[in-house]
Structure 1
Amino acid sequence: MVQEYVSPVRVHKYPFEMVMAAYEMRFPSCPQIPVVIECVITEDSWSADDSQRDTTRKCQLNVEAPYLLKKMIGVDYVYFIQKNHLDLKSRVLEIEATNETFAARVGVVEKCKYYVHPDNPDWTCFEQRALLDVKNFFGLENTVEKIAMKQYAANIAKGKELIEEFMKEVHAGGVTELSPWSAGEPARNRELRRVVARGAEPLSPRPAAEGKRLSIADPYTLDSEYIKRYLGELTPVQESRLLQLRKWIADLQKGKVPSDTTLLRFLRARDFSVEKAREMLSQSLLWRKKHQVDRILSEYETPDVVRQYFPGGWHHHDKDGRPLYILRLGQMDVKGLLKSIGEDGLLKLTLHVCEEGLKLLEEATRSSEHAIQSWCLLVDLDGLNMRHLWRPGVRALLRIIQIVEANYPETMGRVLIVRAPRVFPILWTIVSTFIDENTRSKFLFYGGKDYLQPGGLLDYIPKDLIPDFLGGPCKSFVHEGGLVPKSLYVSGAFTERDGDPLSEDSIYRSVSLGKGQLHEVIVHNRDPQSVLTWDFDVLRHDISFTVYRSDRELDHSDCAAAACGGGAGAEESRSVLEGCGGREGEHYHRVEPALVCHDGESIQGSHVMSESGSYVLQWRCEAADSARAAQLMYFHETLASHHYRGSMSSLQSAISGFSCLSGKSVTSSCPSR
């Protein structure tokens, strides 16, 4: 397989002629590059007018390969042939090196070029690329490729340092300035030749007419200082991958080509696999064109309901200079927003935020001294409860997350989640599987007031920029959110794709309860540490709710015998627990305190089932009279322990200890009204 490696353009802030004098100092041997044992000139010639020089060298290299590999292939050294063409008239040096050893099994071609900087005639550019073709090497193809890449990267890293070091030697030798070659100055040209050749005489003369034609300059190059300033630190392999993707996309896109920062984000998202990044980027470019995403910043009009009730917005920056976005998710009425602007409206809002973020990244990079490639997200979960687990809403949010992950990869530098309540692990269990693993690693969680402690927000956000609602001095203009009035709902704005939760095929069940009557649901648990969750609405009268656990294996026939069905005619009903002859405190235990829920309330909660057994969710009608039956609509679900422990461990492994999940609090319910 042929591998191509391309390094960025290196800039030497010296004139071309001085760089040539420094370059020649590395021959015949260079202690700074111990892998090169010796380079011997086999051919050398100058043109009659002293403007052109062709040099061929045979270089002996001591490859840093494992001892066993050297013994297997039977060589201690490898030989390369290096051919240089120096054109002092055009101020260009072209270098081509090919391997002589194992040429039938491995093909290595390295091409380098020194030339005058296009914008500054007193500076010199250097570019380097290599092709490696391991055809057949005793079954050690991968090993050879790794060794070659390691050597290539090492040479790139030392190249600029060597010129700087040798330039000091040139200066020390009394040469501080060299005039460029000029057709009317033969004496000066002869002196220039003497310095750049270190006094070596040619092995044979050559007429000027035989000069070598220069190759066309490659437009797909990147300046190393540009990379460091605007793209950040990249390894030689990463730089090479970026240039490959850039060339491919320029050939494909006849119009606007994405920026280098965009290409780099997609490469990082695919672990610098050019093929995978190319596929991902191609799909994203088609998506942007189809949905006219490039027009969002100029054409998007924020709906009034978003201005009034969406609790999110940009807020200064973090300590690393990243733009900071605040989302008060605990105060966000997902259902109300979806019923008002629909899923498409919420998606457009999200895309507008992302496009704003990309623009802010460009501004932050320009105003800082280093590359800013991602933003910081601060999520306040104060107020989060089971209401936020409204299934249609969660599904809509997950679809939006998938779109953002596919089209805005590697834009999230850090996610700070504060005031996380106990219900959060349940939401995290559902959502985290849809978030890229690399993005998940950037999440930091803080329960309660942990964010105020060492390792909290002050480690990541300047003290004077901590928002006021988190106890800081900085005024935040992010809306507090709140419930969206039903008067703002738009008919047909949001259609629940997987069924309306209030319809007959809903995951919610409806029950009528007369005075004193109860309804019970038995949950058999054989998975200790799994989580039992519930969500219910009281539509008429007051209803008390509690949860019991019994060691005995209860079943629905016991429930029927105890009259747990919920008919409207009975004065009262017996619990399945009592119907089996059980006594509270001896045969079964109350694991959640009784909660009286009033007409019109929505209740959500959870319980970690730390032990096996039968758990009973119990609702009892507390109506003062039996004229009209109480109405109950409920849903319950069990989350497996391995999912829950996974989210727990990920939270506990964060910088904060996530205090709200520790101790006794983890075994009690979290009702909210």
Structure 2
Amino acid sequence: MSGVVGNLSPKQAVALEQFRQQVSDLLLQLPAQSDHFLLRWLRARNFNLQKSEAMLRKHMEFRKHMYVDTIVTEWKPPEVLEKYLSGAMCGHDREGSPIWYDIIGPMDPKGLFLSAAKQDFIKSKIRDCEILQKECDLQSERLGRNVESITMVFDVEGLGLKHIWKPAIDTFSEILQMFEENYPERLKRLFVIKAPKLFPAAYNLVKHFLCENTQQKIFILGANWQEVLQQYIAPEELPKIYGGTLTDPDGDPRCRTLLHYVAPVPKSYYVRDQVQLIYEQTMMVNRGSSLQLDYEILTPGCILRWQFASEGGDIGFGVFLKPHKGQWQKAAHMKEVLNSQRYNSHLVPEETSLTCHQPGVYVLRFDNTYSLLKSKRIQFTVDVLLPGQLQSPKAGGSIQSEVAHGLDKEEPRSLLVVEPTASAQMS
């Protein structure tokens, strides 16, 4: 049985009555008291009464803490989020559910994070969820039947490395987790259209925050995406640019009065010059020395991504390629993939990515050989994103450092997390 009203097994029906009794002290405080509402929490936890009750009670604490009951009427997002954060509701699918569109490509994650607090992003998405809930309630009244889920369309044309910037991914993951824990069974289906080659790597970063049931509702469409959308959305409800007939009153097929097309955030909105990053490792690069981080890439097309900051002054940084791991080499004896140069990472953190077009051992080299007086403390995080895989792989590798005195030493490291080991070698 599906676990919805009108299609309950005898065991599910008993569980529903027991659940209603167990949360009877909450009923008057809940956003709704119907069987439809209660069953969402039961389905989310496979009709496990104890887990469903814990989930619902935690949600009520969430509502109090975030002032969810008044967030639509009393909280106004910062202007920069209203203008430059993607996401808008437009039309209804063939079953009457609201449709939410996210046009990802033009969005400027770094500009947004330099202009608004993370908590404002989260509250803005809570507000969107509540607006969609109110639209579901209105549709239920209009159609005379229960409407409780939404259809989503993610237009990811133009998705690039800027969208997988770590602070943005971390916040988006937190929002996904919030959605899973507090708005269960709200997603009917999510269509991803115009997906570029980078999409699997981006999806890989957030997939593990989604439950298996949610993952099964995500459909990555191919070249026939317009035909698929038309199967679920009537032409008059689908913007013309997406294959329907809906236009703005002036005939604009992009429906700009309904859909939200964003642009880069003007610097006039910036309230800070950098975003605080949380790094996974910290190491010292001694005066007159350098530090090498080795990453063995076996599959062409992998994306090597790093973020770092330095203390004590600027630091040189470059990426090199060598054929085999376990063999220390001077920079001059390796192929330079990313030109080595000095970065003012003591003032502004550096975040960059590199697509690895050929297999081999990629060496991230921090260079302090030009500084004879100052050692530098560096904080860094390094990720390797595999192409075409929807998992969260980490990179294997090792660390080497070259210093003015001593001997070579190398210790293999496990996935992603870089364990500090030092080796000594003349530069």
Instruction: Give me the TM-score of the superposition, normalised by structure 2.
Output: 0.69
Could you tell me which of 75, 84, 87 is aligned with 1:300? 75
1:496–1:241: structure 2 CA closer, same or farther, 3 Å change rule? farther
SS of equivalent residue, structure 1 residue 272: coil
C-alpha separation in 1, matches of 2:297 and 2:261: 42
SS of equivalent residue, structure 2 residue 100: strand
Aligned match of 2:158: 383
Q: Deviations over 1:581-604 (max 9, x none)?
A: xxxxxxxxxxxxxxxxxxxxx975
Matched, 1:315 2:90: yes
Listed as ranges, the matches of 1:249-288 within 5 Å are 249-250=23-24, 252-253=25-26, 255-257=28-30, 258-260=32-34, 261-288=36-63
Matched, 1:483 2:264: yes
Aligned match of 2:233: 461
Q: Deviations over 1:252-302 (max 9, x none)?
A: 237434422321111110011111100110111112122221111221224
C-alpha separation in 2, matches of 1:638 and 1:444: 25
Could you tell me which of 256, 259, 278 is aligned with 1:498? 278
Aligned match of 1:243: 17
Whose RCO is larger (CA < 8 A, sep 6+)?
A: 2
1:482–1:238: structure 2 CA closer, same or farther, 3 Å change rule? same
Cα deviation, residue 491, structure 1: 3.6
Q: Deviations over 1:457-483 (max 9, x none)?
A: 122221232224435432332221111
Cα deviation, residue 338, structure 1: 2.3
Listed as ranges, the matches of 1:202-213 within 5 Å are none
Aligned match of 1:401: 176
Could you tell me which of 119, 124, 136 is aligned with 1:349? 124
Could you tell me which of 218, 221, 231 is aligned with 1:446? 221
The answer on whether the counterparts of 2:105 and 2:155 sit within 8 Å (CA) in structure 1 is yes
1:636–1:276: structure 2 CA closer, same or farther, 3 Å change rule? closer
Matched, 1:645 2:394: no
1:334–1:314: structure 2 CA closer, same or farther, 3 Å change rule? same
The answer on whether the counterparts of 2:107 and 2:263 sit within 8 Å (CA) in structure 1 is yes
Aligned match of 2:415: none
1:427–1:232: structure 2 CA closer, same or farther, 3 Å change rule? farther
Listed as ranges, the matches of 1:514-533 within 5 Å are 524-525=295-296, 527-528=298-299, 531-533=302-304
Matched, 1:606 2:355: yes
Cα deviation, residue 527, structure 1: 4.5
Given residue 498 of structure 1, which amino acid in structure 2 is its aligned partner?
Answer: I
Given residue 451 of structure 1, which amino acid in structure 2 is its aligned partner?
Answer: W
C-alpha separation in 2, matches of 1:330 and 1:232: 42
1:317–1:232: structure 2 CA closer, same or farther, 3 Å change rule? farther
The answer on whether the counterparts of 2:320 and 2:331 sit within 8 Å (CA) in structure 1 is no
The answer on whether the counterparts of 1:554 and 1:614 sit within 8 Å (CA) in structure 2 is no
Cα deviation, residue 548, structure 1: 9.1
Given residue 213 of structure 2, which amino acid in structure 1 is its aligned partner?
Answer: N
SS of equivalent residue, structure 1 residue 246: helix
Cα deviation, residue 526, structure 1: 6.5
Cα deviation, residue 337, structure 1: 2.0
Structure with bigger gyration radius: 1
C-alpha separation in 2, matches of 1:398 and 1:359: 25
C-alpha separation in 1, matches of 2:235 and 2:66: 40
C-alpha separation in 1, matches of 2:170 and 2:82: 24
SS of equivalent residue, structure 2 residue 389: helix
1:469–1:505: structure 2 CA closer, same or farther, 3 Å change rule? farther
The answer on whether the counterparts of 1:330 and 1:385 sit within 8 Å (CA) in structure 2 is yes
Cα deviation, residue 404, structure 1: 1.7
Matched, 1:411 2:186: yes
C-alpha separation in 2, matches of 1:548 and 1:473: 52
Given residue 243 of structure 1, which amino acid in structure 2 is its aligned partner?
Answer: E
C-alpha separation in 1, matches of 2:167 and 2:229: 33
Cα deviation, residue 639, structure 1: 3.3
Aligned match of 1:234: 8
Q: Deviations over 1:359-414 (max 9, x none)?
A: 11112222225422211111110111011111111111111221221111111110
C-alpha separation in 1, matches of 2:235 and 2:294: 49
Aligned match of 1:33: none
TM-align CA RMSD = 4.0
1:547–1:263: structure 2 CA closer, same or farther, 3 Å change rule? same
The answer on whether the counterparts of 2:77 and 2:120 sit within 8 Å (CA) in structure 1 is no
The answer on whether the counterparts of 1:415 and 1:443 sit within 8 Å (CA) in structure 2 is yes
1:327–1:617: structure 2 CA closer, same or farther, 3 Å change rule? same
Given residue 464 of structure 1, which amino acid in structure 2 is its aligned partner?
Answer: E
Cα deviation, residue 232, structure 1: 4.9
C-alpha separation in 1, matches of 2:319 and 2:341: 21
1:526–1:534: structure 2 CA closer, same or farther, 3 Å change rule? closer
Listed as ranges, the matches of 1:591-670 within 5 Å are 604=353, 606-607=355-356, 613-615=360-362, 637-639=383-385, 645-647=389-391
C-alpha separation in 1, matches of 2:121 and 2:295: 39
Given residue 638 of structure 1, which amino acid in structure 2 is its aligned partner?
Answer: V
The answer on whether the counterparts of 1:245 and 1:274 sit within 8 Å (CA) in structure 2 is yes
Gaps of 5+ in 1: 1-152, 154-226, 510-518, 538-545, 569-601, 619-633, 649-673
The answer on whether the counterparts of 1:336 and 1:484 sit within 8 Å (CA) in structure 2 is yes
SS of equivalent residue, structure 1 residue 373: coil
Instruction: Give me the TM-score of the superposition, normalised by structure 1.
Output: 0.45
The answer on whether the counterparts of 1:386 and 1:605 sit within 8 Å (CA) in structure 2 is no
SS of equivalent residue, structure 1 residue 314: strand
Given residue 23 of structure 2, which amino acid in structure 1 is its aligned partner?
Answer: I
C-alpha separation in 1, matches of 2:357 and 2:11: 48
Cα deviation, residue 236, structure 1: 2.6
C-alpha separation in 2, matches of 1:291 and 1:535: 34
Cα deviation, residue 437, structure 1: 1.3
Matched, 1:360 2:135: yes
C-alpha separation in 2, matches of 1:329 and 1:563: 36
Listed as ranges, the matches of 1:46-445 within 5 Å are 231-250=5-24, 252-253=25-26, 255-257=28-30, 258-260=32-34, 261-445=36-220
The answer on whether the counterparts of 1:532 and 1:636 sit within 8 Å (CA) in structure 2 is no
Given residue 606 of structure 1, which amino acid in structure 2 is its aligned partner?
Answer: T
Q: Deviations over 1:526-581 (max 9, x none)?
A: 744782334799xxxxxxxx99977555844243556969489xxxxxxxxxxxxx
C-alpha separation in 2, matches of 1:567 and 1:647: 33
Cα deviation, residue 235, structure 1: 2.5
